[in-house]
Amino acid sequence: MAREYLKKAHLTSTSDASDVRDIVTKILADIEAGGDKAALEYAAKFDNYDGNIILTPAEIAAASDQVPEKLKADIQFAQDNVRRFAEAQKATVSDVELEIVPGLIAGQKAIPVDTAGCYAPGGRYSHIASAIMTVTTAKVAGCNHIIAASPPRPGVGINPAIVYAAHISGADTILAMGGVQAIAAMTFGLFGLPSANILVGPGNQFVAEAKRTLFGRVGIDMIAGPTDSLILADKTADPFIVATDLVSQAEHGYNSPVWLVTDDRALAEKVMELVPGLIADLPQVNSENAAAAWRDYAEVIVCADRAEMAACSDEYAPEHLTVQAEDLDWWLNRLSCYGSLFLGEETTVSYGDKASGTNHVLPTSGAASYTGGLSVHKYMKIVTWQRATREGSKRVGQATARISRLEGMEGHARAADVRLAKYFPGENFDLSANG
């Protein structure tokens, strides 16, 4: 049975990148040339904010005091989960030392980057969880300086809950600035801050384009597009929960794809029947986003069996992948392309987005076919080292000289020759390419 599309997307999750690229390129160039003054001018224009750019300890404390105690407890709960998961991830990376051959020792060291720039969106939605996800992992990784940036609101500043979350997660500096100007400020080391070695965190298309443009000059977590989610469901799934989960992810934005892949046509039809009502029941701005995403980007696909469902999912390589089907271990062992996997009805993407401990900064637009999401490892450089005794360099020196000459790299060969001549005078080595 060929895959049957009960609903097919007629748009893809791409924007007019050329217009965005031109705007971002100009802003970055202006700020690099104009420094703090230019960044402040763009902040006044786009953020409509004239308060302190770098929050003082008193301002952080005042913002924290505005956060209700129950919400503080929830933020602490989420931050603790993210921290403990990040610590477990870090434990999987260790320094290594190996004697390759007698007298030649090579090793690996994991070194955290010095400065991390962490962006937490604060426009249409205030992404409290993004501050937790990005700052906490940088702290666990061991970065020396962590900058958290988030867009301030006119006359208000950064959402107090974002300030509190960034602070308890370990931010050394909180920057009241959003958009391209925030990315530029962290990259170029404005306002007396150290220049960021890596930029992480979600953002709108302008933030994403700024990170893409600066990549190479600075590290980034990934080049992100609109968030996307796929649900694999069989006849045992609850259509109401499946529909609710699809709508919950469609509310991210008008161009956020959601996909349902199933081998049960009746389930697919019931979900399609339920979705419009669930969208209509959302608050207006959420409903508008979800309605557009469902109308233009969503797909519902009926497959012959679970093997075809899994193959379909791997082809899409979704950012978020949910399985609501029998035999969860089979799916865990079979599936290979996803940013984060949610197994069973008892968990949901929303848990991962907010509080369960795994990171919500994940690959989009099919990038899960070759990379995972944000983790402590993104903030760490895995570097190598080596040392040798004179005897240990004997065999490797000969091999290096001959391979180098075969490649035509005589200078490389001579770096080996001089050591062999010094350490083993009188020995006759055949170091020609044909030796």
The secondary structure element, H or E, covering residue 45 is none
| Sequence-ordered list of residues with C-beta below 8 angstroms from that of 59, at least 6 positions apart, any chain | 52, 157, 163
By the 10 Å C-beta count (0-12 exposed, 13-18 middle, 19+ buried), 418 is classed as: exposed
Angle, vertex CA 151, rays to CA 145 and CA 156, nearest 5 = 115
**Which tokens is 198 given?**
């890596």
Q: Look up 10 and say whether it is catalytic.
A: no
**Which tokens is 344 given?**
């069973």
Q: Look up 377 and say whether it is catalytic.
A: no
Rounded distance between C-alpha atoms, residue 182 and residue 184, angstroms: 5
**Which tokens is 398 given?**
């000969």
Determine how β-strand 104-112 pairs with β-strand 380-388. antiparallel
| Sequence-ordered list of residues with C-beta below 8 angstroms from that of 265, at least 6 positions apart, any chain | 4, 6, 302
Rounded distance between C-alpha atoms, residue 98 and residue 83, angstroms: 31
In 116-215, alpha helices (H): 128-141, 160-169, 179-188, 205-214
Rounded distance between C-alpha atoms, residue 356 and residue 118, angstroms: 20
**Which tokens is 28 given?**
């970055």
Residue 96, SS3? strand
Rounded distance between C-alpha atoms, residue 212 and residue 220, angstroms: 8
CB distance 245 to 257 below 8 Å: no
Helix 265-280 and helix 239-250: axis angle, to 10°? 50
Active-site residue identified among 127, 167, 209, 319: 319
Active-site residue identified among 127, 167, 252, 320: 320
Active-site residue set: 319-320
